[in-house]
Amino acid sequence: MIDVRLLREDPEAVAAALARRGVARAEVERVVALDALARQRLRAQEALRAQVKELSRQVREARGAGDSDAAEALVARSRELGHQEKAAAAEAEDAQGALRDALLLLPNLPSEETPDGDGPEDNVVVRRWWPGMEAGAPPPEYGPHQRVPHWEVGQELGILDLERGARLSGSMFPLYRRAGARLIRALSAYALEHHADAYEEIRPPTLVLTDTMTATGHLPRFADEGYHVERDDLWAIPTAEVPLTSLYRGEILDEADLPMRFCAVTACFRREAGAAGRDTRGLLRTHEFDKVELMAYATAEQAPAVHADITSRAEALLQDLGLHYRVVELCAGDLSGAAARTVDLEVYLPGVDRFWEVSSVSWYRDYQARRANIRYRPAAGGPPVLVHTLNGSALAWSRIWPALVETGRQPDGSVRLPDCLAPYLGGETVIRRP
RNA sequence: GGAGGGAUGGCAGAGCGGACGAUUGCGCGGCUCUUGAAAAGCCGUGGGACUUCGGUUCCCGUGGGUUCGAAUCCCACUCCCUCCGCCA
């Protein structure tokens, strides 16, 4: 959530910043009013509480002095004030709850880098990359053998079995076979090793508490997007960002340890409630997919460099894999709620002829850290400071898989995979018909 | 799932319902002594909210309750440890 003090001191600036992402001014004003009410009620309650405590002290003194009549009179007054204090406390709590609910629903302020815009159509393509570009090669020409959608290639080669996946779990739950299954495993191993120099490998749980989902901003706003296990009140994570961000929830870190960087591969679960019927062919949009995620805690000063590092690591993988991609700066209207800035990497899929998001590198400033209460103690002294959180996929395999299969398809129908995966594929970089 | 034990500051570990936001030790920071260091000694060392900057208030796993007053008493829950059962 955003800083309520900033809202209090400069509501105009907050309203202006949030207007860039479509939040009505009235909503900001409502939160400001809730804050004023909550503070007024807190003061009232604390004043009563102070009187009760003072009377309690006097009771003890009167008893000590052996004056039980005076003590009884004080007890009676204190009891009366105690009832008032209880009522005042309930009112204060109501107001604070309303304020918190409202604050949790306010999205983050967009960063300076973030361009204006209402939706995906206003995002800005920053650059493109394709194999051989540095050597002056023109953008790739794709042959007819590459213009085959991955679901057809997958069926042809017996490495993707969407029908049987649907039999087990319903549509949009993919099932990979043979070299297709091994490819996912190879990609995960390859990426984790690539990041191992600077990012600690974590294997987190994939079912998490409501608090864990709330810390990253996935709840309460996006409850419809999450799979929820009612019986145990647990949520299936939509991304490893969720458990990684909460790793140090409620803790105070040492500045010397920052930035702290983590890497995890997990299954990710998304209901895709708002996208029913869209992009349903093949692997374009699935309810479950594997993804390697990079996540970092940093100081405000370190954050831009960490954002750049995560982006360049994701790009390095794409380049290693020989995939054609572009880098997109998201506009204010297309940012997810918690993000201040997001850069998407979109890979080109020749078989379906479109760029498709495979990584989303985001900087949250202290928005998530405030929800999660993650701070660091400044080396120079002074009170603890909220960390900045950042994360990015590197990468989402359910979209890299199609890109590799379509890009690598050869005229004879076999698929050639990039050499960098050879060590993880037992040297078998060509997938042929069974 | 059953039985028992536990949860207090960075760590260890005290804490008969009233002077306890908390004894003490370790750690950490500063100072004295010293050429320097060690040792010794002295001082200081949690977090949050509100504030008219004087203060006020909250936090002893979490949430309720009893009481004029709760770290302390009661109830529920969570987590950790030990043993039993089950199991990959």
Q: For A149-186, b where at least 16 C-beta lie within 10 A, e where not — what string?
A: bbbbbbebbebbbbeebeeeeeebbbbbbebbebbbeb
Q: Residues with Cβ < 8 Å from A199, sequence gap 6 or more?
A: A261, A262, A263, A294
Q: Are A45 and A75 contained in the same domain?
A: yes
Q: Are A23 and A149 contained in the same domain?
A: no
> A49 — phi, psi (to 5°)?
-60, -40
Cα(A376)–Cα(A385) distance, integer angstroms: 5
Q: Are A325 and A274 contained in the same domain?
A: yes
Q: Would A62 be classed as within a structural domain?
A: yes
Whether CB of A4 is under 7 Å from strand B: the answer is: yes
Q: Would A154 be classed as within a structural domain?
A: yes
Full DSSP string of A12-47: HHHHHHHHTTT--HHHHHHHHHHHHHHHHHHHHHHH
Q: Are A272 and A301 contained in the same domain?
A: yes
Whether CB of A422 is under 7 Å from strand B: the answer is: no
Res A229: pLDDT: 87
Res A217: pLDDT: 87
Domain boundary among A82, A105, A128: A105
Q: Would A114 be classed as within a structural domain?
A: no
- The nucleotide whose C1' lies nearest the CA of A77 is B68
Q: For A358-394, b where at least 16 C-beta lie within 10 A, e where not — what string?
A: bbbbbbbbbbbbbbbebbbeeeeeeeebbbbbbbbbb
Whether CB of A63 is under 7 Å from strand B: the answer is: yes
- Whether cis (ω within 30° of 0) applies to the bond prior to A259 is yes
The domain in which residue A301 lies consists of: 120-431
What CATH number is attached to the domain comprising A29?
A: 1.10.287.40
Q: Are A318 and A247 contained in the same domain?
A: yes
Res A66: pLDDT: 84
Res A345: pLDDT: 98
Full DSSP string of A151-220: HHHHHHHT-B-HHHHHHHH-TT---B-HHHHHHHHHHHHHHHHHHTTTSEEE---SEE-HHHHHHTT-TT
Domain boundary among A76, A105, A134: A105
Q: Would A49 be classed as within a structural domain?
A: yes
Res A277: pLDDT: 66
Whether CB of A203 is under 7 Å from strand B: the answer is: no
CB count in 10 Å sphere of residue A419: 12
Q: Would A311 be classed as within a structural domain?
A: yes
| Bases on strand B under 7 Å from any protein CB | 18-19, 47-51, 56-58, 67-69
Q: Would A115 be classed as within a structural domain?
A: no
Domain boundary among A63, A81, A105: A105
Whether CB of A83 is under 7 Å from strand B: the answer is: no
- The nucleotide whose C1' lies nearest the CA of A75 is B68
Res A279: pLDDT: 76
Q: Are A97 and A124 contained in the same domain?
A: no
Size of chain A, expressed as the number of residues it contains:
434
What CATH number is attached to the domain comprising A413?
A: 3.30.930.10
Res A274: pLDDT: 73
Q: Are A82 and A229 contained in the same domain?
A: no
Res A315: pLDDT: 98
Tally of structural domains, chain A: 2
Q: Are A318 and A418 contained in the same domain?
A: yes
Q: Are A132 and A216 contained in the same domain?
A: yes
Q: Are A206 and A166 contained in the same domain?
A: yes
Whether CB of A375 is under 7 Å from strand B: the answer is: yes
Q: Are A84 and A157 contained in the same domain?
A: no
Q: Would A188 be classed as within a structural domain?
A: yes
CA of A254 to C1' of B38 (A): 28
Q: Would A412 be classed as within a structural domain?
A: yes
Which tokens is A2 given?
């955003």
3-state SS, residue A66: coil
Whether CB of A354 is under 7 Å from strand B: the answer is: no
The CA radius of gyration of chain A, in Å to the nearest whole number, is 27
Q: For A29-55, b where at least 16 C-beta lie within 10 A, e where not — what string?
A: eebbebbebbbebbebbeebbebbeeb
Q: Are A59 and A156 contained in the same domain?
A: no
Yes or no: say if A375 and A401 are a contact pair by the CB < 8 Å rule. no
- Tell me the pLDDT of chain A (434 aa) as tens digits: 899 999 999 999 999 999 999 999 999 999 999 999 999 999 999 999 999 999 999 998 898 888 888 999 999 999 999 999 999 999 999 999 999 989 988 999 999 999 999 999 999 999 999 999 999 999 999 999 999 999 999 999 999 999 999 999 999 999 999 999 999 999 999 999 999 999 999 999 999 988 899 889 888 888 889 999 888 888 999 999 999 999 998 888 888 888 999 999 999 999 988 776 677 789 999 999 999 999 999 999 999 999 999 999 999 999 999 999 999 999 999 999 999 999 999 999 999 999 999 999 999 999 999 999 999 988 877 888 999 999 999 999 999 999 999 999 999 999 999 999 999 999 999 999 98
